[in-house]
């Protein structure tokens, strides 16, 4: 298996959109509860995501042979056994990394998250509950970054990512045969709800701050609102187009935009929590993702 085939199998560029889930969850916690080892949590998220992508192709290998024969497994560039080994290995690595980073609490979230990943890829993807299972993956990934004392504070963040992912996943089912106006409009409603909740949260300080830092709080609020606007600008127009076009290409474009829009959405919540360093990491991830897509000799699907 060549390196390029592995990159395509796990949708490596898309992993950049998952790094901020745990950072958004951490932003709900007081700064005094953060530890250096928590820096492993984005790595755990990435491993779980990459592993899930490989298992996704393993589970879809027969269908892809008919609908997407250019993918690594049906094209013969990766064997089913290799995809299964890569997927399970990465998921296991993600669980271990979460345990190292947060101990029992990390394992208490990572294990259900891994179970949701496996359930979606191998059993629920094509069932009515599939989109809900995928949305639960994102919600749990956000909670993976929360501390024991900040789970309740991180719940609204997790709910927003659950809503956004539910909309994007439902729309992604039309990537091959096209979508419907109803599904696309539901995706628009999901994006609107996520943006509204994020903007409302940005207008409320995450923690009480002294008067001396009020100017900084205003800056953070404006930054969070700007990131929310960026999320809407990236995600909403392709969804509105899909509601009118309904073709497979329009659904695929809207799905890709929805995945990439995760990054400004994550930035809005990290800014709201006053995590400037985390926001800088997310900005770097957004730029890196665009460079990878532009420079790649072969377009790698992120869906």
The rounded distance, in Å, linking the Cα atoms of 178 and 87 is 28
pLDDT per residue over 263-279, tens digit each? 999 999 998 887 777 77
pLDDT of residue 234: 95
Query: What confidence tier does 295 reach under pLDDT thresholds 50, 70, 90?
Result: low
pLDDT of residue 283: 76
Res 300 pLDDT > 80: no
CB 181, CB 251: distance < 8 Å: no
Q: For the chain, what is the mean pLDDT?
A: 88
Q: Residue 101: which of 151, 34, 4 has the closest Cα?
A: 34
pLDDT of residue 160: 97
The rounded distance, in Å, linking the Cα atoms of 125 and 165 is 14
The rounded distance, in Å, linking the Cα atoms of 152 and 139 is 13
pLDDT of residue 130: 92
Q: Determine the length of the chain.
A: 303
The rounded distance, in Å, linking the Cα atoms of 4 and 27 is 35
Res 27 pLDDT > 80: yes
Res 296 pLDDT > 80: no
Those residues whose C-beta lies under 8 Å from the C-beta of residue 222, and which sit 6 or more positions away, are none
Terminal Cα-to-Cα distance of the chain (whole angstroms): 21
Q: Three-state SS across the chain? A: CCHHHHHHHHCHHHHHHCHHHHHHHHCCCCHHHCCHHHHHHHHHHHHHHHHHHHHHHHHCHHHHHHHCCCCCCCCCCCCHHHHHHHHHHHHHHHHHHHHHHHHHHHHHHHHHHHHHHHHHHHHHCCCCCHHHHHHHHHHHHHHHCCCCCCHHHHHHHHHHHHHHHHHHHHHHCCCCCCCCHHHHHHHHHHHHHHHHHHHHHHCCCCCCCCHHHHHHHHHHHHHHHHHHHHHHHHHHHHHHHHHHHCCHHHHHHHHHHHHHCHHHHHHHHHHHCCCHHHHHHHHHHHHHHHHHHHHCCCCCCCC
DSSP state of 299: P
pLDDT per residue over 71-98, tens digit each? 999 999 999 999 999 999 999 999 999 9
Those residues whose C-beta lies under 8 Å from the C-beta of residue 9, and which sit 6 or more positions away, are 1, 53, 54, 57, 72, 73, 78, 83, 86
pLDDT of residue 184: 95
Instruction: Say what the pTM is.
Output: 0.88
pLDDT of residue 297: 43
pLDDT of residue 171: 94
pLDDT per residue over 130-169, tens digit each? 999 999 999 999 999 987 777 888 999 999 999 999 999 9
User: Which pair of tokens denotes residue 110?
Assistant: 């990572």
Res 210 pLDDT > 60: no
CB 110, CB 141: distance < 8 Å: no
Res 213 pLDDT > 80: no
Q: Report the phi/psi class of residue 246: left, alpha or beta, with left for phi > 0 and alpha for psi in -120 to 50.
A: left
Query: What confidence tier does 193 reach under pLDDT thresholds 50, 70, 90?
Result: very high
Residue of 289 and 67 predicted with greater confidence: 67
Q: Residue 187: which of 236, 131, 233 has the closest Cα?
A: 236
Buried b (16+ CB within 10 A) or exposed e, 55-65: bbbbbbbeebe
CB 121, CB 169: distance < 8 Å: no
Helix and strand counts by DSSP (H, E) for the chain: 12, 0
């Amino acid at each position: 298996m060549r390196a390029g085939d592995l990159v395509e199998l796990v949708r490596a560029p898309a992993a950049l959109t998952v790094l901020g889930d745990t950072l958004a969850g951490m932003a709900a916690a007081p700064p005094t509860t953060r530890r250096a080892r928590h820096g492993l949590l984005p790595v755990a998220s990435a491993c779980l995501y990459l592993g899930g992508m490989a298992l996704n192709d393993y589970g879809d290998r027969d269908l892809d042979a008919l609908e997407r024969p250019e993918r690594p497994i049906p094209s013969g560039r990766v064997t089913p056994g290799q995809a299964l080994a890569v997927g399970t290995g990465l998921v296991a690595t993600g669980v271990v990394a979460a345990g190292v980073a947060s101990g029992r609490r990390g394992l208490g979230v990572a294990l259900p998250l891994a179970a949701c990943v496996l359930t979606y890829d191998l059993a629920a993807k094509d069932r009515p509950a599939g989109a809900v299972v995928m949305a639960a993956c994102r919600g749990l990934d956000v909670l993976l970054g929360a501390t024991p004392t900040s789970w309740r504070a991180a719940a609204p963040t997790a709910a927003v990512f659950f809503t956004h992912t539910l909309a994007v996943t439902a729309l992604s089912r039309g990537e091959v045969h096209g979508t419907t106006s109803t599904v696309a409009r539901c995706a628009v409603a999901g994006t609107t709800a996520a943006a509204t909740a994020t903007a409302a949260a940005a207008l409320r300080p995450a923690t009480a701050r002294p008067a001396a830092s009020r100017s900084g709080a205003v800056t953070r609020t404006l930054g969070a609102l700007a990131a929310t606007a960026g999320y809407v600008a990236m995600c909403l127009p392709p969804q509105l187009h899909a509601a009118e076009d309904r073709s497979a290409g329009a659904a695929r474009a809207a799905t890709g935009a929805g995945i990439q829009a995760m990054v400004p959405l994550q930035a809005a919540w990290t800014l709201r929590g006053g995590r400037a360093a985390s926001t800088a990491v997310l900005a770097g991830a957004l730029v890196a993702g665009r460079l990878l897509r532009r420079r790649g000799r072969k377009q790698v699907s992120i869906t």
